[in-house]
Amino acid sequence: MSEVTRQAVIEDGDIADVEPGYRAPQVCNLVGITYRQLDYWARTGLITPSVQRASGSGSQRLYSFADIVQLKVVKRLLDAGMSLKKIRQAMTILRLELESAHPLNDVTLLSDGTTIYAARSPDEVVDVFQRGQGVFGIAVGPVQEELVGEIHRLFPEHDVDIVAVTQREATAT
């Protein structure tokens, strides 16, 4: 069975939308984390699957493309030495960006080791660095592009329009 599952959303008896969902083993492969990490993050609410949550023993979580982008950002923050507490704060910022009208491609997360900033323009990035506060930054747009390439590499037989899904999820309000 394919690792990509398509979920149909039924409204008034008609199929309104089709959402691709990614199972945990493939998500772990795409993000570079263990299943134990993914499970812990889902159970503690750091990042929960938005396509399908686990509903008991034997059920599978299904993650959207936007979920995978968030997981990849968490992984990058961990790799940069951020604490899980600080990462939870960063994910709150990213969730706000996902729910706004601003596309993910315009977001760069910056940290001075104490505070995490979400910059939407090059001027905001420069401003943080000029104040001597920036230690590192993660541009979310390139994370998306990297994941699109990885998904196409892993699922060449699937005609999944990831770019359309990405734009819809990024501009959802």
Domains delineated in the chain: 4-171 (1.10.1660.10)
First to last CA, the chain: 33
Phi-psi region at 57: left, alpha or beta (left = phi > 0; alpha = psi -120 to 50): beta
Spell out the residues 6+ positions from residue 26 whose beta carbon is closer than 8 angstroms to its own.
3, 4, 154
pLDDT in tens, the chain (173 residues): 344 554 444 445 555 555 678 999 999 999 999 999 999 999 998 888 988 887 777 778 899 888 898 899 889 888 888 888 888 887 777 777 767 644 456 678 877 777 777 787 888 877 777 776 556 778 888 888 888 888 888 877 655 444 434 444 444 43
| DSSP state for residue 52 in the 8-state scheme | B
Give the pLDDT of residue 35: 95
Instruction: Supply φ then ψ for residue 59, to 5 degrees.
Output: -80, 155
Does this model's pTM top 0.85? My answer is no
DSSP 87-118: HHHHHHHHHHHHTSSS-GGG-EEEE-SS-EEE
Spell out the residues 6+ positions from residue 159 whose beta carbon is closer than 8 angstroms to its own.
none
Give the pLDDT of residue 96: 76
Give the residue among 98, 115, 128 at the shortest CA–CA distance from 107: 98
